[in-house]
Structure 1
Amino acid sequence: MRDAICAAARAGFDAVECHWPYNTPAADVAAALAETGLPMLGLNTRRGNVASGENGLAALPGREVEARAAIDEALSYAEAVDARAVHVMAGCAEGAAAEAAFTANLRYACERAGPNRIILIEPLNPWDAPGYFLNRTGQAAEIIAGVGASNLKLMFDCYHVGRTEGDVIGRLRALMPIIGHIQFASVPDRGPPGHGELDLGPVFAEISALGWIVPLGAEYKVTGPTSDSLGWMQVLRRN
């Protein structure tokens, strides 16, 4: 992970984020962040048994012990590397029991995180994450309101919203008060910016107009070296 952080710094990124860093000692990541001067925006809780198709634990009834252990682990790692946020992954579930489990585990996460760290939830589109409990921004907004914690926020991924709901700019405007992190990729292939159905130029302009100043997450897929995909930074990067 140190090499990836250093490569991000050389490429001109203002921050980094990661999915599941747990195989790398937190001290090594903290050292790389200190060396480059880049902040860590966030990381995810573990998904559970990936081999059996699990994609998070927090909305799985009866798995509260494991879900909270994953939350504790993520928050401990986040503290060690001074990560701004932890994304609590819901998992594949449905129904009232799943919502109750998710809500209870989010309350636990928010209390454990304290006022200086953000807990994020992210709706995932059903094509990339079939069966995922959280799949629309309206659903996420209702859960955030129900939990009622000031440090629980929405991870707004322009790619997922573009695929599932469309009207990315409209959703940004409506949801900005509860947004805690923003990510982007092209729609519908999740590739680098510059093609597809979603013109990210106006999206980035609107994000700036709405007063957002935190670095965005470039969470897209590449088919070759990442360095070959960064031409968009010269065109779309916000000053």
Structure 2
Amino acid sequence: MPAFAANLTMNYPELEFLERFDAAARDGFRGVEFLFPYAFDRMEVSARTQGNDLHVALFNAPPGNWEQGERGLAALPGREEEFRRAIGSALEYSQVLGNSRLHVMAGLRDDEIPYERQMETYLRNIEYAASQAKSLGLTIVLEAINTRNMPGYFLNYQEETKAVCDLVGADNVKIQFDLYHAQIMQGDLAVRLKTLFESIGHIQVASVPDRHEPDEGEINYPYLFALLDRVGYRGWIGCEYNPRASTSDGLGWLHPWRGTIAKTL
């Protein structure tokens, strides 16, 4: 059965971040994910997860200056030292939080820099991140993001991300397959899930087009959840959506899977 992780950056927005761990546990989640924990002491975040018997599925490495519009460092030539420091910070948190996946954001396409140079930088940086994460048993995941929500992001298509994983060639570099982004950019989700299955390290969900609970809109999520069971997906599925109202009140779709734990921890 699918194992769902609450996304504590987007879910429970009415609560302070550290209070969201308690709320997720009360609602039956066994896993959580979030974008950036770095504004909080890692021991305090760990206390919230352990106190609620929660598994941290995933968080992101520092993305550069998020407030100024940066969306990752990995594909930015000239920022390599900053990227390495960011990976170091992320791994310090991983050592305490025990997450199995670390999302490394590529950054935005810079039209003043040849694409080939950005890609070369990206590949080298992902190779470095994978090598540093290896000793922690940590998988680096890479995400294609749609051009509507994040114009100019370096990766937009699932097969593009798969090609990067293949070029890096490390067994701990996988695809973060966000079904919301994939539907907006490409569709044909069932075929892509089956075709790319061996390269998928994490999955995220939200309705399309409104990015709410996965119980409305143009994606048939019950069908896809059953498909993931059939093909043998045993990882977490992150609930990266904006709740329509109260997160807790909108969890009727979760009842069949409440409390399930991913086998790939």
**TM-score bucket (shorter structure):** over 0.9
Structure 2: state its 5+ residue gaps. 1-16, 261-265
Pairing partner for 2:157 from 116, 136, 147: 136
Instruction: For residue 56 of structure 2, give the secondary structure of its aligned residue in structure 1.
Output: coil
**Change over 3 Å in CA distance of 1:157–1:23 after alignment to 2:** same
Tell me if 1:84 matches 2:84.
no
Q: How high is the TM-score relative to the length of structure 1?
A: 0.96
Q: CA deviation at 1:207?
A: 0.7
Tell me if 1:8 matches 2:28.
no
Structure 1, residues 173-197: CA drift from partner, whole Å, max 9, x if none?
A: 0111010001100011111122111
Q: CA deviation at 1:76?
A: 1.3
Map 1:33-52; keep pairs closer than 5 Å.
33-52=49-68
Structure 1 distance, partners of 2:244, 2:254, is 18
Tell me if 1:207 matches 2:228.
yes
Q: CA deviation at 1:230?
A: 1.0
Structure 1: state its 5+ residue gaps. none
Q: Say if 1:204 and 1:236, in contact at 8 Å, map to a contact too.
A: no
Structure 1, residues 137-167: CA drift from partner, whole Å, max 9, x if none?
A: 1111111000000000100011011111101
Structure 1, residues 41-86: CA drift from partner, whole Å, max 9, x if none?
A: 0110122122332111111111111112111111111111111111
Q: What is aligned with 1:195?
A: 216
Q: What is aligned with 1:22?
A: 38
Q: Say if 1:201 and 1:236, in contact at 8 Å, map to a contact too.
A: no
**Change over 3 Å in CA distance of 1:236–1:83 after alignment to 2:** closer
Q: Which amino acid aligns with 1:99?
A: M
- The 10-residue stretch of structure 1 (150-159 or 209-218) with the greater mean CA deviation from structure 2: 209-218
More strand by share: 2
Instruction: For residue 228 of structure 1, give the secondary structure of its aligned residue in structure 2.
Output: helix
Map 1:1-239; keep pairs closer than 5 Å.
1-93=17-109, 95-114=115-134, 116-234=137-255
Instruction: For residue 3 of structure 1, give the secondary structure of its aligned residue in structure 2.
Output: helix
Q: CA deviation at 1:238?
A: 9.3
Structure 2 distance, partners of 1:178, 1:237, is 26
Instruction: For residue 92 of structure 1, give the secondary structure of its aligned residue in structure 2.
Output: coil
Instruction: For residue 191 of structure 2, give the secondary structure of its aligned residue in structure 1.
Output: helix
Structure 1 distance, partners of 2:118, 2:199, is 22
CA-based RMSD: 1.5
Structure 2 distance, partners of 1:105, 1:138, is 20
Q: How high is the TM-score relative to the length of structure 2?
A: 0.86
